[in-house]
Structure formats: structure tokens, C-alpha cells
Amino acid sequence: MTAERIYLDYNATAPLRDEARNAMSDAFSIFGNPSSVHHEGRRARAAVERARAQIASFAGCEPGEVVFTSGASEANQTVIARGWSLVAASAMEHESVLAAGYGAVGRGVGTFVEIPACRDGQVEAGWFALLRGSRERTGGDMSAPLVSVQLANGETGAVQPVARIVEIAREQDYAIHTDAVQAAGRMPLDFASLGVDYMSLSAHKIGGPKGVGALILRSGAELTPLVLGGGQETGRRAGTENVAGIVGFGVAAECALRDLDRMSEIEAMRDRLEREAVAISQTADVFSATPERLPNTSALALKGAKAETLVIAFDLAGIALSAGSACSSGKVSRSHVLEAIRVAAEVAEGTFRVSLGWNTRESDIDRFLDAWAGIVKQHESLAVA
């Protein structure tokens, strides 16, 4: 009999939670349009607003600051494409931020600048000097620049010093956006205390459905809708709301908030995985192990190996993990995150990511380590041959 498969790729997507699935199943019977004033429409509107309140509690914001979107990529691009005089984003951002930044230059955005990263996976300490210099070079209206720095990186797990960035950026009147997709459900979120203007979230990273996300928008912060043509979301995002998806998102957020209590247990499993993996292969590397990290994320490298080969080997052993961001794993190319932190090419080529979640158990770590031992042994024997 084939052994049960082990899922260690939560940063790519999390399994749909049973609670979210059940809530969505019930919500499919709510067929009214949330914009309609009759009973059926009011019922749909009530379901959407209940979910909005659940997500606000999860994110540490007010319900009126939650704007539903099709996902975090849309939320990111809604912010980036607004028409800032300058957009500065860390070089480790999700591709939806970087692509939006470069694509918007000449179409409303004056200048796009990448903030460099340190080798430990955090934003370069001298980033502010870069921002100031770049801002001075743009000329013209300096009243509306934006800095975008993710709350935590999905490949290395490194948590960024966003609170400190907010403090510095405010001195130069920058608006601040943070992509909190990977941090959500793995560390507490408090939008109000963080001090940012915009924050992006995604349902499927926390056990909700795919195709639903949210942009948290500070009261008074400006927003130019990316999707036009209706008055939904108080005019901030047109289109009839995905009621069932939004309901699933709200319930998943409620569950993720509850499961934060288990993160210390998950972190202990992650640390054990890394400790024993390095003991099995002394040539293995762990990235971003020094700064604050997400408790569920480990970026490991086996020098001389190919990441895609390692991922396939684990898959054959019944273990799902990733060579990096799921948005780029379909193509064989070096991770832009590893490039940003200046990982040598021969090491980057053998880097893969393990990401744990609420269903991870010690027995899953045992299975990983057993498979790892076999993969390392085969790799070393081929290297000798």
C-alpha cells in the first residue's frame, strides 16, 4: 500500500480548511446579488459583511478598511499602479509588485526603484539613503511617493523590519504598502499598530479558497480602483462580490487567528528539521537563519544539486515541497530572491523550500528526514562517481 502523502508546501498554498469548505457549501445557496435591496440581496450582503468583520479581526483593522479583491496580486497592483511620483520596493518582493512597478513607469508612475537586500534576507540597512537619492533625481511633484516592503518573505521566511521602515519613511512623507500574504496566519497582524497605509492579504495562504484576497486600506488613504464599472466595495473595486469565496476567506481567517497559538510548536518542528538535515549532509545550507523568521519556513540548499531534481525526488517519496515561489516554480530559473541576497549560483541552483502548516506533525518531519537521507546519499554517490 502506498504511504500517505506529506504536504510541506503551505507557502505555495494551504489546504482548504474543513470549516471554510463547509461555510462555502452553505454560502452557495445564498444566490442573491449583494447589491440588491430585496431579501435575497440583503442576505448575501450580510454574509459578505460578516466575513469582512472576521478578516478585520484577523488583520487588526476596522471592517470599513477591508476591500475584497480577486487575490493579493490584484491588491498589490491596485496600490502600485495608482500613479505615484516614485515607487520604491524591495528587490525580494513578490513578482506581482515588481512587475507592476516596472510596468507602471511611464503610465502614471514616475520612477521605480528596487531597494537592495542583505545576505541575511532582510532589507539593506542603507536603503533609506537610496530612496532619498532616487527621490531627488525624479524631480517634479514629490508629494506622493510610495515604499512597498513585504512583511515576510515567502522563500526564506525572513521577517522585514516594517515598523522601522514606517518610522523612517514617514519622515520623508512616503505612503507605505506591505504585502502580508506570507506573514498572515504565521505571525500576529495588527494593521493599526503597524502604521502602514495599505496591506495585501490572500485567502488561499491561510486555508481559504483560491481567487479571493483583500486590500486593507487605512481610513483616509487614497486609492485609484484598478477594476472600474460599479459601486461595489464603496466604489473602491467594481464587480459583483464572490460571496461564497469571501465567506470561506472569513472563516479561514477566524481559524488562522485561532491557530496562531500553535506556531511555537511548528517552529520547533522546523528547527528540528533543519538541525537534523544539516547533520545528515554537512554541505547543506539554511538561509536567513539569523534574523527573525516565519516559524514555518525553511530554505535549504544542497550544493551541486538541482532544485527541480530534488523536488521531483521528494515527490516520488510522497512529499510535496517547492523550489521557491509557486508563482515562478513552473519555469526553471534562478530565484530573484536568492539573487537579491547574493547567493552563489551553484548554491541557488540547489535550493528548495519546506513550509509547514497547521496539519504538520512530527511524523511528517520523520518522513522528510528519511527521504532526505536517501536523496543525499544518492547525490553524494553520484558526485563521487
Q: Taking the CB of residue 306, how many other CB atoms lie within 10 A of it? A: 15
- Cα separation, 99 vs 113, in Å, equals 12
Same domain for 328 and 358? yes
So what's the pLDDT on residue 325?
55
Considering the domain architecture, whether residues 66 and 132 belong to the same structural domain is answered as yes
With a cut of 50, which residues of the chain have pLDDT below it? 1, 137-142, 329
pLDDT value of residue 2: 58
Residue 293 DSSP class: B
pLDDT value of residue 86: 87
* Rounded CA separation 8/294 (Å): 14
Q: Is residue 150 part of a domain?
A: yes
- Which position among 61, 118, 255, 327 bears the catalytic label? 327
**How high is the pLDDT of residue 140?**
41
Shared domain check, 198 and 280:
no
Q: Which pLDDT score, from 0 to 100, does residue 139 have? A: 44
**Could you tell me if residue 36 is inside a domain?**
yes
Please give the Cα distance from 329 to 335 (Å, whole number). 9
- Domain assignment present for 1: no
Residues 280 and 369 reside in one and the same domain = yes
Question: What is the structure's pLDDT at 334?
Answer: 73
Specify whether 53 is located in the same domain as 175: yes
Amino acid 230: pLDDT: 86
134 lies in the same domain as 29? yes
- Of 258, 289, 306, the domain-final residue: 258
How much is the pLDDT for 113? 87
Whether residue 171 sits in one domain with residue 97: yes
- The CATH number of residue 168's host domain is 3.40.640.10
* Strand-pair partners of 176: 147
Q: Give the pLDDT score at 291.
A: 77
Residue ending a domain, choose from 239, 258, 277 = 258
Report yes or no on 214 lying in a domain: yes
pTM: 0.92
Answer yes or no: is 223 within a domain: yes
228 and 192 share a domain? yes
Tell me, yes or no, whether 147 and 223 share the same domain: yes
Last residue of a domain, one of 242, 258, 274: 258
d(CA 119, CA 296): 20
Kindly state whether residues 243 and 364 are assigned to the same domain: no
Helices H / strands E in the chain, number of each: 14, 12
* Judgement on whether residues 204 and 290 belong to the same structural domain of the protein: no
Tell how far CA 152 is from the center of its chain: 7
Please say if 327 is a catalytic residue: yes
pLDDT score at 137: 44
Contacts of 383 (CB under 8 A, 6+ apart): 304
Q: In this structure, what CATH number is given to the domain that contains residue 350?
A: 3.90.1150.10
Cα–Cα dist 295/357, whole Å: 10
Give 250: exposed, middle or buried? Use CB within 10 Å, 0-12, 13-18, 19+: buried
Rounded CA separation 104/155 (Å): 25
Cβ atoms of residues 298 and 157 within 8 Å: yes
How many CB atoms are located within 10 Å of the residue 358 CB?
21
Per residue, what are the HEC states of 309-351? Answer: HHHHHHHHCCEECECCCCCCCCCCCCCHHHHHCCCCHHHHCCE
The answer to whether the Cα torsion of 324, 329, 331, 332 is positive or negative is positive
Residue 337 structural domain: 6-15+262-384
Residues 246 and 351 in one domain: no
Q: Is 289 exposed, middle or buried (0-12, 13-18, 19+ CB in 10 A)?
A: middle
* Domain count within the chain: 2
Question: Is 253 inside a domain boundary?
Answer: yes
DSSP code of 4? P
How many of the other CB atoms lie within 10 Å of CB of 162?
A: 23
Reported as a single tens digit per residue, the pLDDT across 215-245 is: 999 998 988 888 998 889 999 999 999 999 9
Q: For residue 229, tell me if it sits in a domain.
A: yes
Query: For the chain, percent helix, then strand, then coil, each to nearest 5?
Result: 40, 15, 40
Which pLDDT belongs to residue 142?
42
